[in-house]
Amino acid sequence: MGELENINPDLSEVDIIYQLLKTAEKHEGKNIKELMEAVFEIKGWALDDYKKMAAIHTQLVLDNRFDNLGQGLWGLKEWKQPKVVRRNLSYGSRTIPYHRRSLQDEIELEYEERESFDKFEPEKEEDDWEDS
């Protein structure tokens, strides 16, 4: 496997799996067995250490970057299209379409609002009080 030579063995096990899936063609999931064998080969470990396999599997399950595709296949969550929820809100006799933004859109909007707030300079107000 030529792709294994390009991966740094000093990376954590889940980072190695992330790199393997990132280079997967056509965003197809890989079997957990293939991923484990690749990690153990890169790290130079023997394949008979089942405690390490269980620990890696647990890390894989807990890491939000990965998606269990079923049938022992794993992929990346970034391969999926974001789920868009559309709702209609009705106020009295009028219906208004409501488009829910994705988390990424919310983060970008908040960042833009903070940037525009930082650039805001209030107008200087002159005191109406006169010194007597």
Place 41 in a pLDDT band, splitting at 50, 70 and 90: very high
Per-residue confidence (pLDDT) for residue 38, from 0 to 100: 93
Q: Is the pLDDT of residue 2 over 60?
A: no
Do both 6 and 47 map to the same domain? yes
- 125 domain-assigned: no
Do both 100 and 43 map to the same domain? no
Do both 17 and 44 map to the same domain? yes
Do 7 and 20 contact (CB within 8 A), yes or no?
yes
H or E, element range at 32: helix 32-43
- 124 domain-assigned: no
Structure tokens at 6: 């390009």
Per-residue confidence (pLDDT) for residue 94, from 0 to 100: 62
Distance of alpha carbon 105 from alpha carbon 99, whole angstroms: 12
Do both 54 and 16 map to the same domain? yes
- 63 domain-assigned: yes
Burial class (CB in 10 A: 0-12, 13-18, 19+), 65: middle
Looking at 79, 97, 127, which one is the last position of a domain? 79
Q: Is the pLDDT of residue 102 over 70?
A: yes
- Across 14-18, 80-84, 93-97, 99-103, the highest mean pLDDT is recorded for 14-18
Structural domain containing residue 57? 2-79
- 93 domain-assigned: yes
How many domains does the chain divide into?
Answer: 2
Per-residue confidence (pLDDT) for residue 105, from 0 to 100: 76
